[in-house]
């Protein structure tokens, strides 16, 4: 038949209605914002000032924004300089540790060989260390460090010291300096950007511990002066080297990757280093000159790997700082140029332009102020018309600009009515008479419709279509509401005597059917709320196959009424042929029995109950 699927109904989104539903662009509230009503002289003068001032607002905002960005860029530049200075200070402290390490080597060589194995004089080594200390003027204990070294050097000339004491002396100074670097300089940054440089310092601490291990191993293999105390010192620094290396890798993952590639994946080197470390940890004196060379070669490779990783970390950090500095410098220059352009060029040009446009804008404002009243009036009319054309719930969505989707209703009751002899009436009447005639009838029926829970769908010629149960579902009341309306329509039109129908009774023909349907908006230019489905076709067939002054209904509607405590009086018509449906059993709705009284369409029937309740 003509049953339509829900998905085939178009989804309509009439955004154009927003111009009628929302607050008007030229609403009276707008005057409060603009600071003046253009329909008054004072308001126009106020708006003139605003037209001159408002164009400057974005320029000022843009200038403020550019200034803020310039400030941030300058701040980044200053921060970059500060970070570079901190890195430079840290590097100088590490440099002192490096020269202290060389001095420690020289002192140990002096002790173990009585000075015969020295390649440089002690004075030259001391001088290099002192120069590096002179560069750390920012170090609070600089003078104390100088004095401490001087006293120790003097005591070395006067008496022979033991190797463990020398190791402890220089190691303590080095670790103090490195700890100062971490706690004072790095922690002041309080940012993850210091992770790389922190890793660099921990790597240097690792080198320091490895260098002590190297010195002790050299003493064991070369000079054969290995003691239990040196053994313990070796074990301690070996563990410290591993701990410091782990700390470095916790701060910098790239250093860990480099370590894995250069050392852990080099199985030969790893095996040699571990074997040599185990030999040193053996307190028995099994050293030889060949073993000394063997140690210097393989452990030297390992120390060089740590040094390479440390230098790479420092290089990456410096590169990063240089990039930050360059970026900040470029951004500062750009924002400074933009700020100059805004202040010197754009601002004055906009001021001149606003003065030239104020006259034309003023006339436009006056025109708009006149049109806004008309627009508001048209908006109200449009909203009223929309609410008349569409159900309230659907019209409300239209006014809000929401998308109106088709809806499926499981059970509704549809009524069609027409005038049985309408063609004869139109053939013998003038068009104006027909219009007047239909107006009287439809006004009367509209009055009946307003008293029941029904919705007028449309009128086409003499056909009047009503539905109950949508767009707001009303449970099982829809059949009752339509039936009450049908009886009221026959009652109201029963006494009509009009010249156009030769003062005869109006032959109204009504058809009713109950079933499912789909309701949705159809059309873009003139949207209508339409119903689709076999229920609509069947209700129309009930009307066209009915008789004048009769209410013709389907079996489905009759069954719905039978559920209402037998208060409806119906008469079986029988089985008739319905176009497109075949044989159907239909019924006549006679009246309504309520409070032991029979309610019939005819007004002259005795004992009639008012069916408009």
Is 85 a domain residue? no
Tally of structural domains, the chain: 1
Check which CATH number belongs to the domain holding 503 and give it: 3.30.70.1230
DSSP line for 385-422: HHHHHS-HHHHHHHHHT--B--EEEEEEEEEEEEETTH
**How many Å apart are CA 24 and CA 35, to the nearest integer?**
17
**How many Å apart are CA 262 and CA 309, to the nearest integer?**
9
Is 580 a domain residue? yes
According to DSSP, residue 499 is labeled G
Is 453 a domain residue? yes
Structural domain that includes position 573:
407-599
pLDDT at 391: 78
Q: How confident is the model at residue 39 (pLDDT cuts 50, 70, 90)?
A: low
Is 417 a domain residue? yes
Is 136 a domain residue? no
- How do beta strands 508-522 and 550-554 pair? parallel
Q: Is the pLDDT of residue 440 over 70?
A: yes
Non-local CB neighbours of 139 within 8 Å, separated by 6+ positions: 93, 145, 177, 180
342 against 267, higher pLDDT: 267
**How many Å apart are CA 514 and CA 413, to the nearest integer?**
4
Is 61 a domain residue? no
**How many Å apart are CA 611 and CA 613, to the nearest integer?**
5
Is 385 a domain residue? no
Non-local CB neighbours of 465 within 8 Å, separated by 6+ positions: 414, 415, 416, 456, 457, 458, 459
Q: Is the pLDDT of residue 500 over 70?
A: no
* HEC-encoded secondary structure of 27-89: CHHHHHHHCCCCCCHHHHHHHHHHHHHCCHHHHHHHHHHHHHHHHHHHHHHHHHHHHHHHHHH
* H/E segment holding residue 340: helix 289-341
State both tokens at 590.
Answer: 């006679």
With beta carbons less than 8 A apart as the criterion, state whether 130 and 123 touch.
Answer: no
Is 329 a domain residue? no
Q: Is the pLDDT of residue 592 over 80?
A: yes
Task: Give per-residue pLDDT as tens, 111-146.
Answer: 776 665 555 677 788 888 888 888 888 888 888 888
- Give the mean pLDDT of the chain: 77
Q: How many CA atoms lie within 13 A of 100 on its CB side?
A: 30
């Amino acid at each position: 038949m003509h049953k339509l699927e829900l998905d085939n109904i178009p989804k309509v989104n009439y955004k154009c209605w927003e111009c009628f539903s929302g607050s008007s662009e030229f609403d009276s509230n707008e005057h409060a914002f603009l600071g003046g009503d253009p329909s008054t002289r004072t308001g126009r003068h106020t708006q003139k000032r605003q037209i001159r001032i408002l164009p400057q607002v974005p320029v000022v905002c843009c200038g403020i924004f550019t200034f803020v960005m310039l400030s941030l860029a300058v701040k980044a530049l200053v921060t970059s300089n500060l970070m570079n200075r901190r890195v430079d200070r840290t590097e100088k402290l590490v440099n002192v540790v490096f020269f202290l390490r060389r001095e420690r080597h020289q002192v140990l060589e002096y002790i173990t060989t009585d000075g015969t194995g020295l390649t440089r004089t002690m004075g030259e080594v001391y001088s290099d260390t002192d120069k590096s200390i002179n560069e750390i003027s920012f170090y609070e204990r600089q003078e104390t460090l100088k004095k401490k070294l001087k006293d120790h050097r003097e005591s070395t000339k006067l008496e022979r010291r033991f190797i463990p004491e020398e190791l402890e002396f220089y190691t303590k100074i080095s670790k103090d300096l490195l700890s100062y670097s971490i706690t004072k300089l790095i922690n002041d940054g309080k940012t993850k950007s210091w992770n790389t440089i922190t890793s660099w310092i921990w790597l240097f601490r690792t080198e320091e511990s490895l260098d002590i291990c190297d010195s002790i191993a050299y003493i064991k293999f070369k000079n054969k002066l290995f003691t239990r105390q040196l053994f313990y010192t070796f074990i301690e620094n070996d563990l410290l080297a591993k701990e410091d290396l782990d700390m470095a890798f916790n701060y910098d993952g790239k250093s860990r990757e480099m370590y894995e590639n250069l050392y852990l994946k080099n199985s030969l080197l790893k095996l040699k280093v571990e074997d040599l470390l185990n030999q040193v940890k053996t307190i028995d004196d099994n050293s030889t000159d060949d073993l000394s060379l063997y140690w210097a070669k393989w452990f030297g490779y390992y120390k060089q790997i740590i040094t390479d990783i440390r230098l790479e970390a420092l290089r990456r950090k410096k590169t990063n700082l240089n990039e930050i500095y360059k970026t900040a410098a470029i951004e500062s220059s750009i924002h400074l140029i933009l700020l100059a352009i805004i202040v010197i060029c754009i601002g004055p040009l906009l001021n001149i332009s606003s003065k030239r446009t104020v006259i034309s804008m003023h006339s436009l404002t006056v025109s708009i102020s006149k049109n806004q009243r008309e627009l508001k009036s048209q908006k109200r009319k449009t909203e009223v018309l929309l609410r008349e054309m569409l159900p309230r719930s659907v019209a409300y969505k239209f006014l809000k600009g929401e998308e109106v989707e088709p809806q499926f209703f499981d059970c509704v009751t549809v009524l069609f009515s027409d005038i049985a002899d309408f063609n004869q009436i139109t053939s013998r009447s003038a068009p104006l008479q027909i219009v007047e005639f239909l107006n009287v009838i439809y006004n009367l029926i509209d009055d009946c419709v307003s008293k029941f829970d029904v919705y007028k769908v449309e009128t086409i010629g003499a056909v009047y279509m009503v539905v109950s149960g949508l767009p707001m579902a009303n449970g099982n009341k829809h059949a009752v509401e339509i039936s009450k309306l049908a009886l009221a329509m026959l009652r109201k039109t029963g006494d009509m005597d009009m010249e156009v129908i030769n003062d005869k009774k109006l032959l109204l023909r009504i058809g009713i059917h109950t079933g499912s349907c789909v309701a949705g908006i159809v059309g873009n230019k003139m949207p209508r709320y339409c119903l689709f489905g076999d229920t609509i076709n069947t209700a129309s067939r009930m009307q066209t196959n009915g008789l004048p002054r009769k209410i013709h209904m389907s079996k489905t509607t009759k069954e719905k009424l039978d559920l209402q405590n037998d208060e409806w009086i119906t008469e079986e018509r029988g089985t008739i042929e319905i176009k497109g449906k075949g044989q159907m059993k239909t019924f006549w709705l006679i009246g309504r029995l309520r409070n032991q009284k029979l309610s019939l369409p005819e007004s002259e029937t005795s004992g009639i109950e008012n069916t408009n309740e």
